[in-house]
Structure 1
């Protein structure tokens, strides 16, 4: 549950980022009280994450560790994708 809250907060933050980066994009739904309500949600989710880490450090710590493990995996995956793309472009240029 604790790791889920991190991703839910990131998802809400992504809505804010996408609305700023692509203001002309079609929006099939509206958010009541935007941007205040999403910001309040992010704040409350962050407080819950901290509270869960304090109250149940063993179980929530395992979830957070699992989430943090994904960061180096993502970075390695991206580096390989860039190298693979460069190799393909070099072969195509020949």
Structure 2
């Protein structure tokens, strides 16, 4: 069971997507990163992806200043992180839509 909570009510109204590139593409580096990212409460989703990034993160923060602090203190300090690219969401058009069969 999951509760739907309005992010702004929790002072987490800013949605940020972050592409992460690791310094090595090995099973060990992926596993180490995944164990570390799973402990971060501000990360809503973490997906291993194909393409320009190794992982794509969905993060909720209070504002840009909040993200800047988190980025500098925690994200770039994660094991194996070589590069991040940040995308601030301007408008949530479809979010968490139900899966239909």
Same fold (TM over 0.5): no
Interval containing the TM-score (normalised by the shorter chain): under 0.3
- Please, what TM-score do these two structures have when normalized by structure 2? 0.21
Pick the structure with greater CA Rg. Answer: 1
